[in-house]
Chains A and B, each alone.
Chain A
């Protein structure tokens, strides 16, 4: 009989797979209580390192052409498709889904990448405008990426919600720090392995697993985070990040699991440019 080679689930920071700097792990079990894995128990310092990586990666990512970003998001879908089996197996273990439900969720997750891949070069046209000001000026408004966005991933459907959080945030040129749902970290780490092989520049997405409660206040108060997708937070935690986030006026939003271009624009800023029209 062959002994399985079990996977060590690590963090994903700046394109690398480090263990938590704290050295901590925590145990997760499947829906029946059986041991599944010891994923990394990320710390505030892991968060700090992720923000540094995300900040460094963001300018180049947002300057990449929208066409290029779209191809990379699509590439993520392609690679994910090839690893469907692993995602299905993890969902069965993590969420206790039956194989067909797990398969369906994986398909939806992949299709969500494809859906947002198509938005990268359209969101400006939809949410920008030229403004007919009363004077000899040309005036237009374009959306731009906000910067660094932290995402508290929502729970079930856990894989789909990872993509619901990540895809719209990075589609526009933001970089992201995903704080995986405490109960469902496995898909997040497997997804990071997909991301690492998808032409996505290092640091654009960083993934931390661990205990949400420990990182809520560090995330809310971090002055170099520009926005938070708080979908995975309880109302008490939401209040906490909003209170702390008021210090640098973070853009904090929560979403249901529907796809929407508003999810993209929620983490964009509108820039209006004026110029005289003359000779």
Chain B
């Protein structure tokens, strides 16, 4: 073989590969649509690709028949009383679009929400706040790596419409994560923003280029999530009575809870108990004596979420779930500390006009309210539906008035211990 042919046979496959990729990206500029059926699956998929991605999530958020249910691992606790099951069974006008899975804390929700943009304007949503997010270190490096979505971060940078306080706060928080610091471009941009300056023109051009490429990628592959819980939802629907009656549902939840949690004294679902606790029961005893939700950067991150909600004039029902009291006593989780958390988060909400709160914090001892140590289930879901149903079905949407106070970004607030 001549040298020229050798070189050609080495380089040609590379060129063809580039051409194919470029072709695919060009194709994506037209946009790949998403069918109603696929959207329906996405709404209850919980795949991390949904919250990290753009086209599918934004489509759901803007769709008139979907309501965002933001939360974390509890969303995965499908049982007959899960919001997705109830909405489907009783043919409500809305379907929950579940956003979040284990590890999606305030920062991840903020990124996801801000990337929807105007589509959220005036929308209603439900937001479940997990007390466990508010530990000392807040969002940990591992969860951040898992849910970090460059496209959303670049969108934030390119949009550049945040108020000065949240702008600086967000940049500083981003710089706390290794993954961001490792990215030369992001590191440079956020260092400037954190110092109160703006990014260079050349940096902005590069950010826009990255956003452009990432958006094309998202349109191409955003639809590739694999997880589906449609089967589980349909199966759970069969166990519900045909006519909706909250009290009847509560009774049924009691019975099912009783039946499914018989093998332990904590009223934890049998399978969860056998798989995750039984063998290591002793390990957990008194394990969380030192755990505290008093001080955490999470309060500031949560303020980003509130900011975004206020900016879009959304009407949001906040849910403060309890912890499983029987279990909390066993692991030594302080009740006083938990109530201080509740008081603090309530203050942050109420002081700024977020007054639609379903506070379940004192119901952790109710029988069959929690499916496992920290997750709502059975009667807990029914209790949520008692607030969700009127909010979404009976009351008209309102245009709430919020009074955002940048104080809640401050270290002072994050580190403050609020008495109950």
A binds B: no
B interface vs A, CB < 8 Å? none
A interface vs B, CB < 8 Å? none
